[in-house]
């Protein structure tokens, strides 16, 4: 037995930001995470933080690392058969930029700060059951490293354990409606041990498929290659990967890429998923547990942090003031922001991808894609709208 006022399942950005904010507010909490600390702190994920996300982190004493080692990015580049154009989105719309800071570094910072503040964080602790959600004392059935089960009880449960985690599965089918879309597009995601070859995020549109270049650190770069769904990432040799990247990024025309060892590779299927509402009884979902967004617009970690801030305010009001109204409004507060991000992500998918076939529909969709790019290149109104949505959450 044991527990805390708020039981947090999952030590990703959502769970760790929530835990740190609750400790700062004097709300007792506990985080359980199924993976090891080493795995969590080395797991490479997205690294583009919006200004609103940076504000949450910095204002709550969680931004020391990103301020010291993060890099400001305010420009993206689009390449196509028609040429190349740069969009300095940091000077458009609300004039906001991204801070590039790899998610694994942010997670390591958040773990260290949570422990420094005296938080209880249990790695290697999977949760097999969540119960009592419609009562006053919800509980978790956690497991020690040797497999021994034990129960944790609390007043609330925060499910931050991902789309396939136990918390999402405990929401009854008739209590929330999932909204899902498979976009029929897959990316081969590559982490390469080489400095960025280009000064800005670069999106390359090609009839063979999309390719992308994103900086991560001074010595590591993220590349994406559109591939067939179901592709085995190991089926590509490094030579074939670089040949295809050179072709789609049009290296012969715009300059060579910096080659280096491929450190990680995985296939990412572009999917969207939103659960409405994001709560059930005493259970509140945040991050990927509440909804999945495609990586086409780098919104996932940003939405997770914003949801954690909203949830922390709700728990604090309930515990210290006896006011549960903010918790009751949690889903209604978060969902408009999530759907705005989903809409922009869906638009970005249409901007960057089109079928390669020679049938009427494929030709039509490629023409639409080319028109979107041309509108973005030439229309100031489109550029301002792009900037507001690209950075905004």
What domains can you pick out in the chain, each with its CATH number? 6-72+97-180+271-345 (3.50.50.60)
Residue range 140-151: mean pLDDT, rounded: 94
165: pLDDT strictly greater than 80 = yes
What's the maximum distance between 2 C-alpha atoms anywhere in the chain? Answer: 65
Share of the chain above pLDDT 90, in %: 91
Cα 32 from Cα 77, distance rounded (Å) = 41
Lowest model confidence (mean pLDDT) among 27-36, 326-335, 355-364: 355-364
Q: Closest Cα partner for 78 from 234, 192, 211?
A: 211
Tokens of 219: 């010595």
Q: How far out from the chain centre does Cα 5 lie?
A: 27
Q: Which residues are catalytic?
A: 73, 203, 295, 299, 390
Task: Please say if the pLDDT value at position 248 is more than 90.
Answer: yes
Q: Which residue has the tokens 């037995």?
A: 1
**Is 11 exposed, middle or buried, given 0-12, 13-18 or 19+ CB atoms closer than 10 A?**
buried
Alpha helices in the chain (DSSP H): 13-24, 37-42, 51-59, 64-69, 103-116, 166-169, 238-248, 251-254, 300-321, 325-328, 330-352, 360-378, 380-391
| 235 vs 389: CA distance, rounded Å | 36
Confidence of residue 370 (pLDDT cuts 50, 70, 90): very high
Mean pLDDT over 302-316 rounds to 97
In the sheet with 127-131, reading across from the earlier edge strand, the strands are 127-131, 139-143, 149-153
Tally of CB atoms within 10 A around 131: 15
Q: How many CB atoms lie within 10 A of CB 189?
A: 19
56/62 Cα distance (integer angstroms): 8
Counting other chains too, the contacts that 66-70 makes at CB distance below 8 Å and 24 or more residues apart are: 66/99, 66/101, 66/105, 66/106, 66/109, 69/101, 69/105, 70/99, 70/100, 70/101
Chain centroid offset of residue 242 CA: 26
Residue 326 has phi, psi (to 5 degrees) of -60, -35
Chain-wide mean pLDDT for the chain? 95
**pLDDT-based confidence at 358, cuts 50/70/90?**
confident
DSSP annotation string for 46-91: --EE-HHHHHHHHHTT--HHHHHH-EEE--EEEEETTEEEEE-GGG
Please tell me whether residue 132 adopts helix, strand or coil conformation: coil
Cα–Cα separations (whole angstroms), residue 200 to 75, 76, 245: 6, 5, 16
The values of phi and psi at residue 88, to 5°, are -85, 80
Which tens digits make up the pLDDT trace of 189-241? Answer: 999 999 999 999 999 999 999 999 998 888 999 999 999 999 999 999 999 99
Residue 322 has pLDDT above 70, yes or no: yes
pLDDT tens, 39-59? 999 887 778 999 999 999 999
């Amino acid at each position: 037995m044991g527990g805390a006022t708020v039981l947090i399942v999952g030590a990703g950005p959502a769970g760790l930001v929530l835990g740190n904010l609750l400790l700062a507010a004097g709300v007792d909490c506990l985080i359980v995470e199924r993976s090891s600390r080493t795995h969590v702190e080395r797991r490479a994920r997205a690294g583009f933080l919006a200004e609103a996300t940076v504000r949450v982190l910095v204002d709550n004493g969680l931004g020391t690392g990103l301020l010291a080692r993060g890099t400001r990015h305010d420009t993206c580049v689009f390449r196509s058969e028609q040429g190349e154009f740069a969009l300095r989105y940091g000077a458009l719309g609300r004039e906001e930029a991204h801070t590039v800071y790899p998610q694994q570094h942010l997670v390591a910072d958040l773990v260290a700060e949570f422990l420094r503040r005296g938080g209880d964080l249990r790695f290697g602790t999977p949760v097999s059951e969540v119960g009592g959600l419609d009562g006053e004392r919800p509980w978790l059935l956690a497991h020690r490293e040797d497999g021994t089960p034990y129960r944790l009880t609390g007043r609330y449960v925060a499910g931050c354990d991902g789309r396939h985690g136990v918390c999402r599965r405990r929401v009854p089918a008739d209590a929330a409606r999932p909204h899902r879309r498979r976009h029929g597009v897959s990316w081969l995601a590559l982490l390469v041990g080489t400095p960025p070859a280009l000064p800005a995020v670069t999106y390359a549109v090609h009839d063979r498929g999309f390719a992308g270049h994103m900086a991560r650190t001074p010595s590591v770069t993220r590349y994406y290659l559109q591939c067939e769904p179901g592709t085995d990432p190991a089926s590509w040799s490094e030579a074939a990967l670089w040949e295809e990247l050179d072709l789609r990024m049009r290296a012969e025309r715009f300059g060579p890429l910096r080659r280096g060892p491929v450190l990680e590779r995985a296939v990412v299927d572009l999917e969207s998923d939103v659960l409405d509402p994001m709560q059930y009884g005493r259970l509140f979902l945040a991050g990927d547990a509440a909804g999945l967004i495609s990586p086409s617009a780098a919104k996932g970690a940003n939405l997770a942090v914003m949801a954690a801030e909203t949830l922390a305010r709700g728990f604090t009001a309930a515990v210290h003031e006896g006011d549960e109204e903010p918790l009751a409004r949690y889903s209604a507060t978060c969902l408009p922001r999530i759907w705005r991000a989903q809409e922009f992500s869906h638009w970005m998918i249409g901007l960057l991808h089109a079928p390669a076939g020679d049938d009427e529909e494929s030709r039509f969709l490629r023409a639409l894609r080319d028109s979107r790019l041309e509108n973005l290149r030439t229309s100031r109104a489109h550029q301002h709208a792009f900037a507001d949505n690209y950075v905004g959450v």
